[in-house]
A and B are shown apart, each in its own frame.
Chain A
Amino acid sequence: MAEEKINVIWLQGQGCTGCTVSLTGATHPSLADLLTGYIPQAANVNLAFHPTIMVPHGKEAIDVLRSASKGELDPFVLVLEGAIPDEKLAKKTGGFWCMVGEDEGKPITLNEWIDKLSERTAAFVAVGTCACYGGIPHGEPNPTHATGAFTYLGKNWKSKLGLPVICVPGCPAHGEHIAEVLAHLVLTARGFLPTPELDEYNRPKFIFERTVHENCPRAGSFAEGKYSEKFGEPYCMGLLGCKGPITHCDVPRRGFVEGVGGCPTIGSICIGCTEPEFPDPPFSPFFKKTPPGVFVGETVGDLKGKLYALLHRLKPRVI
């Protein structure tokens, strides 16, 4: 049995295309799996608009967005990559910050497309920290007053399916995070899976519940009090500025491309790129240590863990 076709409309705002590149590196599932899927429940997904990979250009491309805003591509999932600027600010001098197509010589701004398409969309997925919370473009002093969809549409905004903005942050978002969330939503829309559970910043918990620190292969060094004091050493990167304890992400465990990589995993530092404040404090300066409060909490948790481990040892074997 064939499921109803679901269109995906991928808009790019103030972004760098890094999330798209990241998606091309997704493996389980891959972009091709997503688009050519052989499991009927997850198949029949059509990438109707994506500036970086679509074949048509110019008007032919923009006409896809026009059809979508008239309802001709329902049901569709709207994906945003890149931040949303404040066009009122640019208008003061008669200009624009971010244009996606023109109409009779007048720019159509990204914001106009978001306003139009968000009314009809079955789900809104913000891909990457820029699209979620503003990311790099909203870094102080935020020259274009950029925000992400979480702020632009608001935490209480609901799609046609009754879903809030789903945030898949990361700079860039991990390719598999994007692919998994999109696949999940397709299955949600078709009634096979429940709505993904979200955290306070609308990040799916099945990916973002735990911190980099909890997912870090070097966390054992932390527990033993072994810290890298110079780059190149194989221990906890906390002294050199790693923001693992205050960043929610599973990349240290998952790796970045087919299991390879992971920021503290290879000896770099986490800079907090999945968090709403990124790239501003407490995440920058990037070499600055994580605020001490976090370490107090960590240490208390650690001592508690040791105590439970001791009590556990005292229990008799049960099988």
Chain B
Amino acid sequence: MSQVKELYIEPMTRIEGHLAIHAVGDVKAKKYVDAHSYAVMFRGFEIILEGREPADAIWITQRICGVCPTPHGLASAQCIDMTYNVSPPPFAVALRNFTHASEQLYDSVLGCGILEGPDYSEPVVKKLNPDWWSKAEKTKAENRNLHGYSTIAEIMSALTPLSGSLWLKCLQLSKMGRKMASLFGGKHPHVGSFIPGGIAKTVTASDLEMFSAMLAQHIAFSKELVSAFDDLLNFVLEMGYEEAGKRKANLISYGCYDDPYSYTGKYGDLSRWGDSRKVSPGIVLDGKLVTTDLTEINVGVREYVNHSYYEEWDLKEIELDPLNNNIATEHPWNKVTKPLPKEPHKWDDKYSWGTSPRWHDWKNRVDGKTHVVEAGPISRMWTTAQAGKVKESTGNSIKFTLPKATVAGFRVPDEVTFEWKIPKSVNAVERIRARAYYHAYTAYVSYNMLLDALEMVKKGEAKVWSEYKRPKEGIGVGLTEAMRGALGHWCIMKNGRIRKYQVITPSTWNESPRDPLGRPGPYEDAIIGTPITEQGNGELNGIDVVRVVRSFDPCLACSVHIYAGGEKKASKELSPYFNI
């Protein structure tokens, strides 16, 4: 019997989009020794956008991803604010924040409960990790007074698709988040209200009241969600999951939730408004925060296509940014998208529709080199905890108190204080934990933003749009956080039309194939070294790989702005799909 088994997982399910994974497991040493992540669908957004009116990008780019459209709308709106040289009024920034935060609330419960949760649910654990189950039945849940489940096994049962109480609540609350986004966005997915210079929303007296009532449900639910996931994940860690999906803490965050009075949409102010975000921008290399300067972060972005189904480019459209920083050929402002479809599995050649973004330490803070950085809730919690830019940041944690909220159907009306602490390592478990805590932090930030918005209304500052005259030429960048992490949009306008539009999504960072230096992307890196815990009959099912990849909450349509997947080898029979 050979020691090494090859596994092709395609389609990767319970993620957004078309992703495939090739993993090589050493069944004797009980760990994965190699991996390739490949995106298998292409649509060509950047090509479709060329020649269109720049404002149209705000609607079109949201269609890159139906799971996380609003951050695309926001990044694009900020990118076009800059391109058109228009600053939205503060109340419009607040309403954009609400819409964005609503989506984060929906998306974090979707990720934790519906997409990743089932991997730790009763049917999956019983089938693939039966030894966990017997222990889970005996392990008391520490936070049972908050979430109401007495043992870990009960939490696992509660995550069972279509019947588990936590799964069903997550479905309900994800809908509530989308309803909140529809309040200010008209619809969700793909909100219709983000426009250059503000938001197309007729604000009525009932809007903020409705928003606050719906937010109360998320605040109440967060107290249960975070406590339940804390208990579940601590248990999973004890089952030997410390090493699963572990990578060095190399992280990127653009930050988000703008201060309405700081955001101007002007490139010269980018660092200043980045600094005042409630979630801090930052680059973390080997666990240390090396910069929080959004301008520096932008200038350091690189994108490579040596292992991707695209042709290289050498054209340099922009030499300098508006502040005279040198802009590299590999920077998205200079990138050209030229698709070149090729066959799959050529690991030495092109093998993915995804590209390889890297961050260049161009100010030589550490070593002046490019780095493989990971995006996601763990990245932005980490940068926010270390940056000390918000009062909740302690230098090694984020500490905040969720307000009182009495809502029928939820257990805890009282205030609850949570503290997310920087973990020992970045691994599958900690990525999911950060996602749950990000739900709570977003609910907390939204509550405070709501109080601020009421003050604005009191002062009569309820203007939602700044009129503008569209210039002929312009350049813009929009940087924000989608649920899955750092999201950037870049635009160059000539003659009032899009000359170039580029998008790098968080999943592009995370699912990237090898770069020119042969370094694996974050998914690949995280799989390599992951222990094999599944107890199979000699066949590899790949559940450990799948859990690791799902911990990133992949959003594939995003990263290729198109893909699809393939499979080859796994275990026996079909069955446990939803059979009601």
Contact = CB atoms under 8 A, between A and B. Distances in A.
B570 interface: yes
Contact of B568 (A22, A102, A267): A102
A58 B210 CA distance: 43
A151 B534 CA distance: 46
B11 A61 contact: yes
A231 B118 CA distance: 43
Contact of A61 (B161, B193, B567): B567
Contact of A257 (B41, B171, B182): B182
Interface in B222-256: none
Contact of B569 (A19, A59, A110): A59
Given A32-B162, A61-B11, A94-B342, A271 B192 contact: yes
Nearest to A228: B202
Interface string A54-97: 11111111111001000000000000000101000011011111
A90 to B, nearest CB: 4
Given A136-B60, A232-B464, A21 B161 contact: no
Q: Is the interface of B mostly helix, strand, loop or mixed?
A: loop
A55 B576 contact: yes
Interface in B60-79: 60, 63-67, 69
Contacts of A187: none
Nearest to B342: A95
A262 B187 contact: yes
A114 interface: no
B341 A95 contact: yes
A139 interface: yes
Contacts of A258: 175, 179
Interface string A93-129: 1111111111011011110000000000000000000
Given A14-B41, A17-B66, A32-B162, A56 B202 contact: no
A275 to B, nearest CB: 14
Interface string B319-352: 0000000000000000000011111110000000
A48 B580 CA distance: 10
A139 B345 contact: no
B67 A268 contact: no
Interface string B115-128: 10010000110000
B8 interface: yes
Interface stretch (A189-197, A284-292, A294-302, A309-317): A284-292
B437 interface: no
B12 A57 contact: yes
Interface stretch (B42-50, B279-287, B448-456): B42-50
A49 B53 CA distance: 39
A200 interface: no
B257 interface: no
B48 A267 contact: no
B577 A140 contact: no
B565 interface: yes
A62 B342 CA distance: 22
Given A99-B565, A257-B182, A51 B13 contact: yes
Nearest to A128: B66
Contacts of B342: 93-95
B198 interface: yes
A287 to B, nearest CB: 6
Nearest to A92: B341
B16 interface: yes
A258 B45 CA distance: 31
A48 B280 CA distance: 43
B562 interface: yes
Contacts of B315: none
A61 B574 CA distance: 7
Given A93-B342, A98-B41, A286-B56, A256 B188 contact: yes
Contact of B546 (A13, A27, A57, A97): A57
Contacts of B575: 56
Contacts of A53: 13-14, 114, 161, 578
B341 A19 contact: no
Interface stretch (A141-149, A177-185, A201-209): A141-149
B524 interface: no
Contacts of A286: 53, 55-56, 59
B36 to A, nearest CB: 13
Contacts of A95: 309, 340-343
A266 B9 contact: no
Interface string A207-241: 00000000000000000000010111110000010
B364 interface: no
Nearest to B576: A55
Given A45-B580, A55-B13, A265-B186, 4 more contacts: A16-B63, A16-B557, A57-B546, A97-B341
29 contacts: A12-B17, A15-B66, A16-B17, A31-B171, A32-B168, A36-B580, A52-B16, A52-B115, A56-B574, A59-B567, A96-B341, A97-B562, A99-B344, A102-B8, A102-B567, A105-B345, A143-B47, A143-B48, A230-B465, A231-B195, A232-B198, A232-B201, A233-B202, A255-B182, A257-B179, A261-B182, A261-B187, A261-B188, A263-B192
Q: Kindly list the 9 A-B residue pairs having the minimum CB-CB distance in the complex, ordered from nearest.
A: A18-B66, A95-B341, A102-B566, A261-B182, A143-B44, A267-B202, A90-B341, A16-B66, A256-B187
Interface of B: 7-18, 20, 40-45, 47-48, 51-53, 55-56, 59-60, 63-67, 69, 110, 114-115, 118, 123-124, 161-162, 168, 171, 174-175, 178-179, 182-190, 192-193, 195, 198-203, 210, 309, 339-345, 463-465, 467, 542, 546, 557, 562-580
